[in-house]
Chains A and B, each alone.
Chain A
Amino acid sequence: MGYEIRKEGNILIVKVYGEFDLHAADYARRDIDSQIRAQGVKHLLFDLGSLTFIDSSGLGVILGRYRKVSESGGRAAISGTPPNIKKVMEISGLNRLMPFFVDRASAMLELG
């Protein structure tokens, strides 16, 4: 699993590649939290367009970051959910907490 983190305006964009599981969860959590603090952003966007696998450990990282930015008055969103992980997303209930967008541009428009 890999990810790119970059800031666009008031939004931190986390683009996740590959498999997001227990092994990836710990360092992803640390890196994202550290970047939220360092960049001073308000909102968070997870771009999952290049994700190939996710389980409850990866989803837990997303949920935890959603809670953090929400507590600070920000919003979090998800874009580009691949078809093979849609069922996991639905069962997790994350789609009832966070808005899902088909692509990053739509999400940026909403968050920005």
Chain B
Amino acid sequence: MIRNQMRLEFLSCSENVGLARVAVAAFASGVDFNLSDLEEIKVAVSEAVSNAMIHGYEGATTGTVRLSASLSNEDIEIVVEDDGKGIPDVEQAMLPGTGSDPERLGLGFVFMKSFMDEVDVRTEVGKGTRVKLLKSLPGNGNADKFVKN
């Protein structure tokens, strides 16, 4: 059962990476994730949104990035979507250090997988990419840990 939900849509300008992670961290702080969990969620969101901007839109600042998050009694689910060029080979993209740019570590998906319990990527070349990130609530998501504002 969904207890809370948020949606945010923004242009693919790099200054919005911070907006995205802070928005999700504030949303996730409604349950008792500890500071370390929140830091990990922030890194994962930052990587997913940065990927949309760098790879999906290839640095163009006019693309649209859609971010949503929903909180259930069990977990937080975060979805980052773009309408960019898509990923031709997802398995390859998920391997560390596979990028061609020497300035990039190629660790975006590695961080997402390290810090979240589930990472699901749906992509279509020429149409865009949807990344779903899931993290279980502390103590496997007890309903009484939800804090209503």
A residues with a Cβ closer than 8 A to B are 19, 21-23, 25-26, 29, 53, 55-57, 59-61, 63-64, 67, 84-85, 87-88, 91-92
Contact = CB atoms under 8 A, between A and B. Distances in A.
Interface SS of chain B: helix
A91 B50 contact: no
Contact of B18 (A19, A26, A29, A92): A19
Contacts of A91: 107, 110-111, 114
A63 B36 CA distance: 24
- Using C-beta atoms within 8 Å of the partner chain, give the interface range for chain B: 20 to 34
Interface in B9-55: 14-15, 17-18, 21, 35-36, 39-40, 42-43, 46-47, 50, 53-54
A26 B104 CA distance: 12
Contacts of A19: 18
B15 A60 contact: no
Contacts of A57: 46, 50, 104
Interface SS of chain A: helix
Nearest to B44: A55
Contacts of A56: 47, 50, 104-108, 111
Given A56-B105, A63-B103, A67-B102, A88 B43 contact: yes
B108 A23 contact: no
B103 A22 contact: no
Contacts of A55: 43, 46-47, 50, 111
A60 B43 contact: no
Nearest to B36: A84
